[in-house]
Structure 1
């Protein structure tokens, strides 16, 4: 279950991907398979080679790409999620979803 984002943020993420760019979106998330995670960062791209190449820079394997729906993406949690948000300059998402949970 996803929550904590607006429809506008979701649409912007999808539009970025449809435009051939890498899209990064973080939202609160609850899933019994991942009880330690309170948020997930989805990094998507239309071009699977582009997405796999991007993932390689963070040590992600192309086999980890989630091919659901029309927006292939990596699901990031924990330390890799924090690293990506910091290194990609996603300050607002980092502060909203990572630092708040530590408070």
Structure 2
């Protein structure tokens, strides 16, 4: 389940993804498989070729893309999430979800 985002933020992400843009959506999240993490960043792009290339360029295995039409995405958690958010200059994601030291 996603927490901490608005319907407007979610819809903006969905629109960007369906237009073939690489879009980022960070939200609070609970998954008992990952008890040490409480946020996830979904990196989406409806163009699977672009999303696959983005994964490769960022050292991520594209095999873990969630190919869920119409919103394919890769889930970032933990240290790699922080690394990518910094690299993409998404400082507002880091601040909003208190992911910065």
Alignment partner, residue 4 of structure 2: 4
Residue-pair matches, total? 100
Q: Distance in 2 between matches of 1:78 and 1:57?
A: 18
Higher helix content, 1 or 2: 1
TM-score scaled by structure 1?
0.92
* Cα pair 2:28 2:39 within 8 Å, conserved: yes
1:1-103 superposed matches below 5 A:
1-97=1-97, 98-99=99-100
Q: Which runs of 5+ in 1 are unaligned?
A: none
Q: Which runs of 5+ in 2 are unaligned?
A: none
Runs (4 or more) in structure 1 with deviation over 3 Å come to none
